[in-house]
């Protein structure tokens, strides 16, 4: 039951950096905020497997295929950790997937863009996973225990994802003129959607005030975005890529000033009008339906095991 006393005690725990665990009392608004953010994070991990999964059979070498397969498998595992962590808040996996298929839950807009060349595998690993690392390293300190522990586990794998992407881009930039052009075009396709991953500007972020008060977020959208920009521009320049922003400049404090994001595009893609929104959800729903028999078999197997244990 929510009253001033338990609200006060809850906020005192948050302020004292005590992790909130599933069995602890929490305000319903805090629980709903976490279900929303954590499930959307999980959906993003799983939908994010599509643009890369399309390239596993078309990788340019056996080594490249092994690396990409490992990365895509990791993303599926990240989705699993995050769905399991979300279920500790008392919501079922089925319900979360239903909300996704009904368009009531989001996933990162960056995954609604096409990946037409092998260089897109490099740009996604380097930029999308690079942005995810900045966001997720910060989320390791989130106030909800299961989310924080999932982030610690996920971050251990993300740096491999970012490095393999950057290696693809660096290799292409040492290649033929055509390969350099392919890498530059992929950079231009993924630069701005990666900056959008950090969400709207702090002043336009309706969720941030609660997120910061409850220490779900430890740094703001704009602060994290700036960290990513300051880290990534030197990496791009090191391998000879041209920053897709005519106005960017290095400031005296070592940070970069960049043009503003096209927020009409941001909200338009989130509303469902991106290049791949329909296809991503259709493919996810088809895979979910085709996998029904696997879930049923696993449940039947588990029930049989439990019966045998009872009889033993
Ligand atoms: N794509 C889709 N929706 C976005 C978005 C984006 N890039 N940025 C913001 N939004 C949505 C928010 O979900 C919110 O909508 P909602 O209220 O319906 O959920 C609305 O826009 C307003 O944004 P806010 O900033 O107010 O919302 P948040 O406080 O939740 O901040 C966030 C948005 C920064 C994405 C935050 O939710 C977050 O940190 N989420 C966890 C990280 C995450 O989900 N990353 C996605 C990528 S996972 C990934 O990249 C996997 C990698 O391994 C490849």
Dump pLDDT digits (tens) for 252-290.
999 999 999 999 999 999 999 999 999 999 999 999 999
pLDDT in tens, 41-64: 999 999 999 999 999 999 999 999
Mean pLDDT, range 89-99, rounded to an integer? 97
The model's pTM: 0.96
In the prediction, which pLDDT does 131 show?
A: 98
Rounded Cα–Cα distance for residues 76 and 81 (Å): 9
Please determine, for residue 291, whether its predicted confidence score (pLDDT) is greater than 90: yes
Collapse the DSSP code of 94 into the 3-class scheme (helix H, G, I; strand E, B; otherwise coil) and give the result: helix
Q: Ligand 1 center to residue 106 CA distance, Å? A: 8
**DSSP SS3 for 37:** helix
Average pLDDT in the 70-80 region?
97
- The closest residue, in CA terms, to atom 45 on ligand 1 is 41
Average the pLDDT over 13-35 and give the result.
98
Kindly give the number of the ligand 1 atom that is closest to the alpha carbon of 78.
53
CA of 135 to the centre of ligand 1 (A): 10
Of 273, 288, 285, the C-alpha closest to 112 is 273
Instruction: State the distance from the centre of ligand 1 to the C-alpha of 198, rounded, in angstroms.
Output: 7
On the 0-12 / 13-18 / 19+ scale of CB atoms within 10 A, 264 is: exposed
Say which residue the tokens 């995810």 belong to.
132
Q: Which residues contact 281 (CB under 8 A, 6 or more apart)?
A: 100, 101, 103
Radius of gyration of the chain (CA): 21
Residue with tokens 């920009």: 229
34: CA distance to ligand 1 center in Å?
12
156-207 pLDDT per residue, tens: 999 999 999 999 999 999 999 999 999 999 999 999 999 999 999 999 999 9
CB 196 within 8 A of CB 226: no
Ligand 1 centroid vs 64 CA: distance in angstroms?
A: 30
Give kind and range of the element (H or E) at residue 141.
none
φ, ψ for residue 58, nearest 5 deg: -110, 15
Pocket of ligand 1 (CB under 6 A): 36-37, 40-41, 44-45, 48, 75, 78, 106, 108-109, 128-129, 132, 135, 158, 196-200, 205-208, 211, 221, 270
Indicate which residue's Cα is closest to atom 14 of ligand 1. 207
pLDDT tens digits along 205-222: 999 999 999 999 999 999
């Amino acid at each position: 039951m929510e009253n001033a006393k338990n609200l006060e005690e809850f906020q005192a725990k948050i302020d004292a950096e005590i992790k909130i665990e599933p069995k602890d009392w929490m305000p319903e608004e805090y629980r709903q905020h976490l279900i929303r953010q954590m499930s959307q994070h999980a959906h993003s991990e799983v939908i994010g497997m599509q643009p890369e999964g399309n390239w596993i059979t078309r990788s340019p070498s056996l080594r490249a295929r092994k690396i990409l397969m490992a990365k895509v498998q990791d993303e599926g595992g990240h989705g699993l950790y995050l769905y399991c962590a979300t279920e500790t808040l008392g919501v079922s996996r089925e319900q979360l997937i239903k909300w996704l298929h009904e368009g009531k839950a989001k996933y990162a807009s960056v995954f609604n863009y096409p990946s037409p060349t092998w260089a897109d595998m490099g740009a996604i690993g380097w930029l999308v996973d690079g942005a995810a690392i900045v966001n997720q390293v910060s989320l390791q300190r989130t106030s909800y225990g299961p989310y924080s522990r999932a982030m610690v586990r996920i971050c251990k794998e993300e740096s491999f994802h970012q490095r393999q992407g950057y290696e693809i881009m660096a290799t292409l930039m040492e290649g033929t003129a055509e390969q350099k052009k392919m890498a530059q075009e992929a950079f231009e396709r993924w630069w701005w959607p990666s900056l959008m991953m950090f969400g709207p500007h702090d002043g336009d972020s309706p969720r941030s005030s609660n997120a910061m008060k409850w220490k779900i977020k430890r740094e703001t959208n704009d602060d994290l975005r700036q960290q990513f920009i300051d880290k990534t521009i030197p990496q791009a320049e090191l391998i000879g890529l041209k920053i897709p922003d005519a106005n960017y400049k290095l400031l005296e404090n070592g940070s970069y000033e960049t043009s503003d994001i096209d927020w009409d595009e941001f909200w338009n893609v989130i509303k469902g009008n991106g290049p791949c929104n329909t296809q991503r959800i259709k493919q996810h729903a088809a895979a979910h339906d085709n996998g029904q028999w696997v879930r049923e078999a696993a449940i039947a197997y588990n029930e049989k095991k439990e019966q045998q244990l009872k009889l033993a």
